[in-house]
Structure 1
């Protein structure tokens, strides 16, 4: 018998957004967004509430018409096509399962409405349920399922059409943290197995980092930065991105020197920072020095000689987080957060009121533009 995971192989289409905008009266909610989700790739639209990410997704789906710009799949324009002709699967936070239908009937419903034969409809519905690990649940009613199982049914219903593109709008918001994390891994594996192009809307930074091949950070209806998950975490280009993706420490500074592989900065209070990361900013320009908490080393003694990428402050707060201890230092009126593995602390743990020295390597000094 054929393996359902093989017979249901989909393959994704390349989605291209070219300068799309959307206005409601005088309010422009999406402005000149140009973006591409390559075939088989998971692209996350990430940003705070009201940044335009859901409106962008709904324009791809055909639920909202762009005020201007074009959308294409595999080079074919779809901007003016109705929803049902775009070959797109959709999954939203509200799963909208039919409560009076079984799991199999829920998944098969859309196919039967399209006039596909009963035999093929059942075969494809069972394949979709196998891919989402729901074999054996075909006869159950939605009310008898857990939240995670209902989410799998909705996902099976979205992929049963064998769409070129899967659109997800905050699909895990109704799940508890542990189940949400498990479903994220399952979804990524499934999309990779099917080669399915996926566009995900989320405001959860960790979810975007776990799921996405590429992340587009949105702000005020525009794209702030597009990069791989690792690059956008390790090489944010703006204060907004560095602050929104994970946690960072920031200090305003002026670039005072540049060489081929090195940039020097000076803060307003005289600290000198060195970065070995590339920066488009030039000598004399204002910038923000940023460093991630996990990149910082702490020492109870004051360093002598080397003062680059070094600050000293008083411990004002500590928070135990299982495998790590978060420590806040007050440095000339600014709070600096450090995250240290518990195993690295030994007996010498920072205590409230202690004065410690924080330092980090030049490879971890980020230079980002101001807001």
Structure 2
């Protein structure tokens, strides 16, 4: 059994960091903490500043303002090689002329680790990523997943306090990517390694991260644990980027006993018991996840959190049947509402285009977010 290759992760704190290129500010006043031993995901669309933020932590880019601290010590002015960070990117950058063992040992040798310790620690790192017996193979003889494991072993072999990952699974197919995500989380937890991950894949962030920082236009839009970001998004952007949501503009008309009542411009009433910081008369958006909605054939009597419409189309997605419904006479609603039917229910209820169905959902699943 291999011994642990690291002694525990360090806390990473970003204090008001900014980065500008000329007049263009690509990262704006980012304040974040990656707790020791945790996995923090920087999530957002292309161009939102997440990779630039990671590169500032790595020392590859210097902040225009702000400070970066590891275990309370500023590393902002330190060069890359003095920060004791492990890095893994989408391009694994393995040396094609070196064996697996030599690739993993390379970083150790460059740091002046004695040869005997280099061999032992490379062996330990390969055992941790389940590549014992592959030491003498060349990278070209490995699968994509095995090459990724070699790169991971190289990143952890010299016992970094922090591991930085930039879209590390982008080159893998879906099934292998999912397997590697689970393995990475298990490995980081086993080593107690602080990890900062950059991804635009919402599912990857939800699977891997203890904390998710959703970025937009260089700023942090929301930071919370994975479940809270999904179940309690604070804005239209977050609710739309993390998963899928149906949005309905509305105004808050009442708040009492933990229950909020909202009304759309067409007079539809919605109720929510999801905690938030809004106030009466505020214009917001009601957001409903497709999996939160339940369909019933025909038109039901008007009630809170209920809409009737015409089925437009359906799409089989394996685990769910996605159905799109056009609400009746609601100009303020988005053109179509998406509803997810669990596949075990699809056999007994399969809405067809042109049919009238009613969608309803609970107050506990009615999200209220800032408008776009």
Match of 1:339 in 2: 340
Give, in whole Å, the separation in 2 of the partners of 1:75 and 1:25: 30
Contact 2:299 2:358 in 1 (8 A): yes
- Listed as ranges, the gaps of 5+ residues in structure 2 are none
Per-residue CA distance 1:154-205 (angstroms, 9 max, x = gap): 0100001100000000000000000000000000000000000000000000
Give, in whole Å, the separation in 1 of the partners of 2:8 and 2:348: 55
Match of 2:325 in 1: 329
TM-score by length of 2: 0.97
Structure 1 residue matching 2:131: 3-state secondary structure: coil
Give, in whole Å, the separation in 1 of the partners of 2:22 and 2:113: 42
Match of 2:133 in 1: 136
Give, in whole Å, the separation in 2 of the partners of 1:89 and 1:348: 51
Q: What does 1:129-278 align with in structure 2 at a 5 Å threshold?
A: 129-278=126-275
Q: What does 1:78-117 align with in structure 2 at a 5 Å threshold?
A: 78-117=75-114
Contact 2:5 2:158 in 1 (8 A): no
Alignment of 1:319 with 2:320, yes or no, is no
Contact 2:4 2:191 in 1 (8 A): no
Alignment of 1:290 with 2:282, yes or no, is no
Give, in whole Å, the separation in 2 of the partners of 1:294 and 1:10: 42
Match of 1:309 in 2: 305
Give, in whole Å, the separation in 2 of the partners of 1:96 and 1:285: 52
Alignment of 1:60 with 2:57, yes or no, is yes
Q: What does 1:16-27 align with in structure 2 at a 5 Å threshold?
A: 16-27=13-24
The RMSD of aligned alpha carbons is 0.9
Give, in whole Å, the separation in 2 of the partners of 1:59 and 1:7: 28
Match of 1:351 in 2: 352
Deviates more, 1:110-119 or 1:44-53: 110-119
Contact 2:300 2:308 in 1 (8 A): no
Give, in whole Å, the separation in 2 of the partners of 1:7 and 1:292: 42
Provide runs of 4+ in structure 1 moved above 6 Å. none
Equivalent residue pairs, number:
367
Structure 2 residue matching 1:347: 3-state secondary structure: coil
Give, in whole Å, the separation in 1 of the partners of 2:349 and 2:107: 63
- Give, in angstroms, the shift of residue 9 of structure 1: 4.1
Give, in whole Å, the separation in 1 of the partners of 2:65 and 2:216: 19
Give, in whole Å, the separation in 1 of the partners of 2:347 and 2:299: 19
Alignment of 1:29 with 2:30, yes or no, is no
- Give, in angstroms, the shift of residue 114 of structure 1: 1.6
Per-residue CA distance 1:87-131 (angstroms, 9 max, x = gap): 100000011100000000000011111211110000000000000
- Give, in angstroms, the shift of residue 321 of structure 1: 1.2
Give, in whole Å, the separation in 2 of the partners of 1:15 and 1:166: 11
TM-score by length of 1: 0.97
Per-residue CA distance 1:46-93 (angstroms, 9 max, x = gap): 000000000000000000000000000111111111100101000000
Match of 2:370 in 1: 369
- Give, in angstroms, the shift of residue 8 of structure 1: 2.3
Give, in whole Å, the separation in 1 of the partners of 2:58 and 2:141: 31
Structure 2 residue matching 1:119: 3-state secondary structure: helix
Give, in whole Å, the separation in 1 of the partners of 2:4 and 2:365: 46
Alignment of 1:70 with 2:67, yes or no, is yes
- Listed as ranges, the gaps of 5+ residues in structure 1 are none
Give, in whole Å, the separation in 2 of the partners of 1:338 and 1:182: 29
